[in-house]
Amino acid sequence: MFARLLWSLLRGSRGRLAVALVALISGATVISGLLNLNLDIGRKLAQEFRMLGANVVISSPRPSQSIGSSADAPTAAPAVMDAATVLDEIGLVRSGDIVAAPYLYIVAHSAGAPVVVAGTWLDEASKLAPAWKFAGNRVASRSDMTQCLVGRNVARQFRLAPGSDLALSYLGRSVHLRVAGIVDAGDTDDNQVFVNLPVAQALAALPGKIELVQLSVGGTSATIAQSVAQLAAALPGYDVRPIRQVTEAEGQLLNRTRLLIVSMVVLILVLTALCVLATMAALSMERREDVGLMKALGGSISRIVGLFLAEMGVLGAAGGLIGCIAGMALSRWMGERVFGASITLRWEIVPLTIALMVLVALAGALPLRLLGKVKPAVILRGE
């Protein structure tokens, strides 16, 4: 009986309910879309922040300047560490998404002028610094002993172009390399020559040694902190140093964006409730006659209000469900549009949105209280 009454009520005032339903659906769409985005935005921003390059540096604990005072070869005896042990440990910690590259710096000479030579893995180094722009080719292999990359300023100073030859000498040892590409880093990297690690190790006569490891650890600031703690535990005696500016700025930006989105969600909820409220006010005016009739037939006011509330609940749930589906599509679209990548859909948002919409719909049914005042006799007289 209750269900049948509910059904006929819903059918009876389709037009008005459609307005409320549209309001609920659009509210639910936007809210579920935004909530979904809000949960995923940390990951997305973290990906963007990797553009900044390495965010963790592992080095030997001694400051590298504490060795000798010979000014002409400042890194003649760098605080080196054993490449294999450090890299193995990093490999074991590889819990998250970590890009790592070892570095060995020497100040070599080319055509009589000093230049910083960074020995690294050329295939990983460009992944560590996604902001690099290349003229010419990249070096695809870390065992390529014949090619190098040069920074923009080095290329200008020594008049190098992709394909030209570069001779590097260091303490009597020398090596001839072909310039594969020119790196435009917009950074101090522009002043360096990048060679593969074995080349630099051979020049420095430090086989198997590295000076530091740069890592780009993916994830949000919390997961980065966790990875740093794991690395520090795995590498006792080494200096595992997060580059703080990056992670702090990231956390702040994330908080602000989230706060902004949440406040927008609250505002949109209020507006949706208002919309439903307006529709319900009109509906309760129109329903005065129905209510009068029901009362005259002996329906108690609680039963009648219960009926209307059930109606609103059904409406809210339906609006929430349809809105959620639309919201998934919306957040997908926003992900593509804003971040150029799809957003992971979170199913826990569906019950949340539906609950919110049912609440909003019930709050919007507030004008139905007026129905309690309806006097059947007056209504039936047609006044």
Partner 1 sequence: MFARLVRESFVRNPRRKIMTAAALVVGMAVATATLTVALEVGDRMAREFRSLGANLLVTPQSDTLPLEIGGVDYRPVDEGAYLREANLGKLKMIFWRHNILGFTPFLDVPAVLAQPQPDRKFTSEAGPATLASPSQPLSVMVVGTWFDHDVPVPDGTRFKTGIRLTNPAWKIQGQWFHDGANEAVVGVTLAAAYPGGISAGKTIYVNVRSGVASQPRPVPLLVTGIVSTGDAEDDAILVPLSVAQSLSGHPGQFRRLFVSALTKPADALSERDPSTLTPTEYDRWFCSPYISSISYQIEQVLPGTDVHAIRRVADTEGRILSRISTLLWIVTLAALVAAGLAVAATSATTVLQRRDEIGIMKAIGATNALVGGIFLAEQLMLAMAGGAVGFVFGVVLARVLGASVFGSPAPPRLVLLPVILGLAAIVAIAGSLVPLRRAANFNPAPILRGE
* Residue 130 amino acid letter: P
Nearer to partner 1, 92 or 259 (CB): 259
Report the site for partner 1 in 158-217 (rule: CB under 8 A).
Answer: 184-188, 190-192, 212
CA distance 230 to 284: 63
Q: In this chain, which of 82, 88, 248, 348 binds partner 1, going by CB under 8 A?
A: 248
The nearest distance, CB 339 to partner 1, in angstroms, is 6
Note whether 270 and 27 are within 8 A (CB). no
Does 232 sit near partner 1 (CB under 8 A)? no
Angle of CA points 167, 170, 173, to nearest 5°: 80
Does 63 sit near partner 1 (CB under 8 A)? yes
Report the site for partner 1 in 288-327 (rule: CB under 8 A).
Answer: none
Nearer to partner 1, 9 or 360 (CB): 360
The nearest distance, CB 291 to partner 1, in angstroms, is 15
Q: In this chain, which of 77, 249, 296, 377 binds partner 1, going by CB under 8 A?
A: 249
Comparing CA positions, the residue from 131, 106, 124 lying closest to residue 116 is 106
Q: In this chain, which of 19, 234, 314, 366 binds partner 1, going by CB under 8 A?
A: 19
Does 261 sit near partner 1 (CB under 8 A)? yes
Report the site for partner 1 in 22-61 (rule: CB under 8 A).
Answer: 22-23, 26-27, 30, 34, 37, 44-45, 48-49, 51-53, 61
CA distance 134 to 182: 6
Q: With 0-12 CB in 10 A as exposed, 13-18 as middle and 19+ as buried, what is 339?
A: middle
180-196 burial, b for 16+ CB within 10 Å, e for fewer?
bbbbbbeeebbebbbbb
Nearer to partner 1, 92 or 249 (CB): 249
Q: Is the dihedral of CA 307, 309, 310, 311 positive or negative?
A: positive
* Residue 75 amino acid letter: T
Does 238 sit near partner 1 (CB under 8 A)? no
The nearest distance, CB 204 to partner 1, in angstroms, is 13
Does 373 sit near partner 1 (CB under 8 A)? no
CA distance 107 to 88: 27
Note whether 383 and 289 are within 8 A (CB). no
Q: In this chain, which of 8, 85, 164, 263 binds partner 1, going by CB under 8 A?
A: 263
- Three-state secondary-structure class, residue 172: coil
Beta bridge partners of 150: 182, 193
Site string for partner 1, 128-157 (x = CB under 8 A): -x-x-x-------------------xx--x
Report the site for partner 1 in 88-117 (rule: CB under 8 A).
Answer: 105, 107, 113-116
The nearest distance, CB 255 to partner 1, in angstroms, is 9
Q: In this chain, which of 161, 171, 338, 377 binds partner 1, going by CB under 8 A?
A: 338
